[in-house]
Each structure stands twice: as C-alpha cells, then as structure tokens.
Amino acid sequence: MKKGIILLALIFTACVNLDNIGGNSGGEVKEIKNTNISTSKNYERKNGSLYVDNVLANGKQEYKEKNGVIIKGNFKEGLADGLQERYYPSGKLYGKINIVNNKVEGTETTYYENGKTISELNYTQGKLISGKIYYENGDLLSQIEGKKMTIFYSSGKKLFTMDKTDLAVYHENGKEVFSNSDEGIRINGEPAKKSLLDMFSKENLVKTALYLLTSDTIQAEYKNGKPSIQLKGTTAVMYYPSGKILLELSPSIDGTVNSKIYYENGQLMQVEDRSKNGRSVKVYDKAGNLIAENIFNKDHEIKQIY
C-alpha cells in the first residue's frame, strides 16, 4: 500500500528530468549556425557510446543528428565527459549539462524553444539535491529543497505541498482540498471519516495511500472551475487552465512509475519510467522530434542513448 503514495512524492520529480528544474533568463540562450557542423564524419551511438568513423569519440565533438538535433561536447572513450550542449533542430539551445565520471554534477539547465527556462536541477554526484521547474510562460511551476517540495499554479498560489510525510492539495483560491499530517487526514479543512483500513495503520504515508485507494477521486480546481489536479488510488493527473493534460503519473504495484508531461498544445514533452534499478527519460520538442534519451542506473550513472 505504501506504493500508493509514491504518486504524490513523485509529482515534482516527474516534472522533472522531469529522473528533465531557474528563471526565465532567455539571455543565456544562444543559437548556433548549422553550417559549422561537420558532415564529413560518420557519428553513431552504440549502446550509449559515441563513435566517430567507427572509433570511440575523444575530445571535443560537434555534430548533427538525422532529425536536426545538434550536439556539442567533450568525450572520453565514447562517453560524455564535461560540459555537454544540445540544440533543437531550429538551432535554439535546449540544454546544458555537466557530466563527471558518468554522473551529472552541478546544475543542469534546459530551455523551452521560446528561450524561457524549463528547469534548473542541482546535482551532487548524480543525485538531485534541489531545483526549480517553470511553466512555458516563465511562471514557477515547482521547486524542491531536500525532502520539501511545492507545486504552484501559474498565478503563484500553492497547488501541492509535501514536507517529508506531511502533504496538502489546494484549490487556486487558496482553499485546502486535502491534507495529511500527524493530526490525521482532512478534507476541505474538516477531519475525514476514518475507514476500516485506517484502523490498521499508524504511518502517515500508509494512511494516505489507503485513503486514496478507497475513496472517491480527490480534485482541486482552478478559479475557472476546471480541475487542476485529480488523485485517485495510484494515479495522478494534473491539468493546464485550458483543461488540457499537463502531467500523467501512474505508479504500479511492482514499484515502477510511469510519467508523461505535455506541452499545452497537447504534444508529448517527456516520458519517464522509474524502477528500483534506475530510470529512463525521453524528451521531445513541439513538433514531435526526439531531443534526448538518457538512462540512469540505480547508482545515478548516466548513459546517453540519444
């Protein structure tokens, strides 16, 4: 039953990479001229390693994938080593990441194609420490500091908060919809009726999971009356104000978690699968082009498949 609460703990990290978080500093975004990209060499990835003319890549490389994605960075024996930059087919910067000993180190920054920041994620030896994620218009979507996380409406109001085992969900007007703490579960600010299952557990997370698995759908709303987030059992769906899906999160009984993030136009932005053995992430642009595909093992080591 404890797996049922995983959906709440992962709403932020799924928005994230995004296992793809700050400001809208478009000034850092730059374009590169495609005419500078070498076309005389054959670049190919095999099992996560980059080959140049069938030899493992070493030193600085700059090349274009078949779909127009441009990659720049330093490599050592076929593996990314140091600063890596990746560009949309349009030439706009998608992201910068620093890899040391096959692990992300420092701040990974990604951008929407309009130049605004998607995320700034801070890593230490491959482990996410803190970060922020932004809506495409530049408003703060979520932030994390250690085990504390907050998700915001675009208006700046809190939508979801979690601090260790305490959590809460809010309407955009600020009214609390659902919360769980040492004082128990509350619905719309009032103590929830205890179910028979509640009598068998004293742990906050387990009680919350049991409640979500045996209750009706819990829903928070925007000021326009449309749903902002819906929780039911082990499934969470978050929406844009327009009513289109922003995030789908589906944990499974075996501990795996699948998440999908969408652009507001409905195009899939990111697919992520997590398990006890690690995670895999695919990122797409608004045209449906694959921009990046990475696999991380349980020791936080990264393998760049694409």
Using one digit for the tens of pLDDT, what is the confidence trace for 170-211?
999 999 998 888 777 888 878 876 544 444 444 544 455 545
Q: How much is the pLDDT for 39? A: 55
pTM to 2 decimal places: 0.80
Q: What percent of the chain has pLDDT over 70?
A: 79
Helix (H, G, I), strand (E, B) or coil at 84: strand
Q: How much is the pLDDT for 4? A: 33
By CB neighbour count within 10 A (0-12 exposed, 13-18 middle, 19+ buried), where does 18 fall?
A: buried
- What are the boundaries of each domain within the chain? 2-29+92-304
Q: How much is the pLDDT for 306? A: 85
Q: How much is the pLDDT for 18? A: 40
* Segments of the chain with pLDDT less than 50: 1-37, 195-202, 204-206, 210, 214
CB 221 within 8 A of CB 228: yes
Q: How much is the pLDDT for 35? A: 34
Q: Where are the beta strands (DSSP E) in 4-116?
A: 43-46, 49-52, 55-56, 59-64, 70-76, 79-87, 93-100, 103-104, 106-111
Residue 168's nearest CA partner among 195, 201, 208 is 208
Using one digit for the tens of pLDDT, what is the confidence trace for 37-62?
455 789 999 988 999 999 999 999 99
Q: How much is the pLDDT for 291? A: 95
